[in-house]
Structure 1
């Protein structure tokens, strides 16, 4: 089979796999299920700073995607790669261990890549909290319809969300802020960004029915403002020695009623956002527009027809947010390349549950010596 036909077959099988997965998502369960989930694909397929692996390795079709976020070298000879892992339809892959990775290097004297021993290279997955900041922005619709009919359920679901997303022990690397909106041209702060979980819970518990003075719903304005906040937080948390990611989670029980901002402007804001900002949406009731909310929650969206299902909605989204945060990895190893060897190609392959994926990049061994551990 020639290369062109091989590539066409790979594309065909990937499309078929995506179609099958999406079909399974929407067909499972019975027709009376209240909760409807939507995996929104197309946002996690990029390789970041990496590129497809050279064909000489003959690794086969990729069913896992490694997207390189950053990479750097540290003397005397350590190579560090920070990346996230997802499957081909965008679901994050968390919980990977160092022994699930294979490292390949190709120097200037190599026709193809050579496998590097995991044990001899001291390969390891380091805690990504060393260089990783993750910020979650929870945006709650507190318009009159919510306050009058489902406030208790929303408070309970929000507390469950906080408990599931925030680490058991407070960590400066994982922070959350809570905002709310009604009909005003303002995204109200309920609790500023914090790593203290109890502060967030206390803020939710303090919500009462008199919190809002405008019964309308400025959904599009809230989405625009929340995206701006997430962008600012991401820029602040991404510095020379740290990497950042952010998640925006929007809950509403209806559509935009204030009409201050247009649908197109709000959706374009989400579409154009930094690739390290993920968007989730939670819809409740018969008045929502699932199509619009799916575009707002372009990473993942979930809808329920009644408030009894609200906590399950929030738990599903919290699981997704947590998995996404834990699908970022800092992989480090000691390269056998030494000073004077110039630039080398590097490929990282990961295997999990019979699936594999790989990404290729390069590094310069300038100054590399022995003694790396």
Structure 2
């Protein structure tokens, strides 16, 4: 009887308006990815609803190639989807369900070919796992950032063998930014100051930066996904509420996994006040993953992060091998200056790519060294990478 009633209701709705009828123009549209765009790896599928329809939408659900992805009952209407390692045609659909029983549908078809690798400005970095990506910070003898360098100003060495730079992106390109904030119960008293510092950091990001905000205690929570709207970023910070333990290793793995699917300039910023208590992953898992991570990691330790020598060493080691930095703040008042230093470095990042002269994917560790023209200049970048077999490298991505 329940099934008959359900079909009857659907039939009534269909007589009022065919359920699969094309949507009214611009009622609902998929804004990412766009039709004809090739997609690879983990991406965000995002839909927008016209203002005239917004109050009537009860839910937006997504499907990829006929398979259900997710459903959202309030904006932002988006979800993460792994498009796989090979570019091929996909059909993505967003269905907005209305309070009157009707619905609106938007569909896009992606492309099966990748755009050619380009140069500066508007560059699309190749998805080839053989291309090694290196993000670098260059300073002069007085510690001031050096900007305006071109490809010819950099010299890349792998295991001391010179490499040819295939592309360079300067300081102005948009960035993928993942921020992970400890919200364990030990953060209860400090949380107002933490929120204030994180808000200041997010406000300093550029409008075209894609911001993902993670919170972690016993679990890992995504509070914002690739957000570019300044107000939405700040609203996400308000959801930081302290409770539970500390799953530091889990959030590091989650964040590195997210960034592994992103090309271009990117960074991971992690704030924690204590050692790991709740992770399913181990430190060894994190260190193995870090060997293939190409995003600089900035670790901010507070509380036990400054006094516990083992934890301090972990934060330093993970940051150093990635080309990032570790900060140790004795007082919460030092948190905002630490975030400000990170913003300054993000604004002065260079992104280089090269295809190794040694093509072997034999699982060995490859040392990376960067040099730049000019007296007294220093470069900070990732120390190296693990040359995994191609199939395993794709899985890690």
| TM-score, normalised relative to structure 1 | 0.49
Whose helix fraction is larger, Structure 1's or Structure 2's? Answer: 1
| TM-score, normalised relative to structure 2 | 0.46
Structure number with the bigger relative contact order (C-alpha 8 A, sep ≥ 6) is: 1
